[in-house]
Amino acid sequence: MDLKNKSVLITGGTGSFGKKFIKEVLDNTKCPRLVVYSRDELKQYHLLEELKITNAKDIEQNRIRFFIGDVRDSGRLEMAMKGIDYVVHAAALKQVPAAEYNPMECIKTNILGAQNIIDSAIKNNVEKVVALSTDKAANPINLYGATKLASDKLFIAANNLSGSNKLKFSVVRYGNVFGSRGSVVPLFLSLKEQGVTTYPVTDKRMTRFWITLDEGVKFVLNTFDRMQGGEIFVPKIPSVNILDVLEAIDSDCEYEEIGIRPGEKLHEVMCPSDASHEVIEFNEYYIIPPSIQFFSEEINYYISKDKKNGKNVSDGFEYNSLNNSSFLTVDEIRDYITNYL
């Protein structure tokens, strides 16, 4: 994906994903204009200072621009999207316990904010929108997952709102991002530096999907070439067990089970069994096509936009972090930590 002659806007651009996305776009594409939309002016300032060192030429050529704004603010979003071709929606309130204690704030950002993205994209004749989702949106048991499921549904249904406009909306759903803010690896590494010998573990049986920021960013960029509108894209990624992660960081430690936090699952799901009759498998990913009929056109989701062929999965198939055919070993997890952190 070279993004030649395509102006791109990313919401939540100063988060873990956003920063990696910005570097990838500036360093490895021909995108002429990248707009970073986020609400934290201090994070924008720090990111700009970093880029002045690593990407000074891009700053001088005005390839990147910063907008302070909240996805809750429809007017500001509409202004920021003027002249934009592609949108990546990464802004979200995503901490599970925080969402349980502050439900309405999570709803305002994750659901109402999603609708603001849709409305602004339609008004500005944007070509494509890719919204980031989460494994917690599949069979959700917590408020964060429920808001992201609602957000996914909004973006899928938005393909019926664009009318004669060529605008397409799709969703990317993936699992735990290795090393991102709030994830367990930075926590365990911090505790190790402090000399802790007994680590807190929620439940020793817990498994999670595992994807690096690099892999996540490249998958999202490739989605622009693959998408036809209305799909939920799910990458094929490995799983990890929480005790294997801990052993990779400190093989001589002990652990204490502290219990699952509010809203957490033992294992995460990305393609629920209830949707197995809809799921289409490709070599590197699955898609969940829309369950509703679009008025504008008939789409064959078995052939992706980049001409790859898919097939049905078996009846009752579920893609979850426990029955995943690919699990990282302790040594592989250790290599990830060495190479990516």
Please tell me the number of Cα atoms within 13 Å of 36 on its side-chain side: 27
Beta pairing, strands 280-281 & 285-288: antiparallel
- Cβ pair 24, 8 in contact under 8 A: no
Classify each residue of 235-245 as buried b or exposed e, where b means 16 or more C-beta atoms within 10 Å of its C-beta: bbbbbbbbbbb
> Is the Cα dihedral 286, 319, 239, 18 positive or negative?
positive
How many degrees, rounded to 5, is the angle at CA 108 between CA 103 and CA 270? 70
CA 154 to each of CA 45, 85, 160, 204, 252: distance values in angstroms, whole numbers, following the listed order: 32, 20, 10, 36, 48
Active site (annotated) includes residue 204: no
Distance CA 105, CA 111 (A): 10
Instruction: From the candidates 136, 148, 153, 168, give the one annotated as an active-site residue.
Output: 136
Distance CA 119, CA 167 (A): 11
Taking the CA atoms of the chain, what radius of gyration do you get in angstroms? 20
Closest CA to 234 of 167, 162, 173: 173
How many degrees, rounded to 5, is the angle at CA 181 between CA 180 and CA 183? 70
Phi, psi at 145, each rounded to 5°: -60, -40
- Give the list of residues 6+ apart from residue 332 with CB closer than 8 angstroms, or none: none
Q: Which residues are catalytic?
A: 136
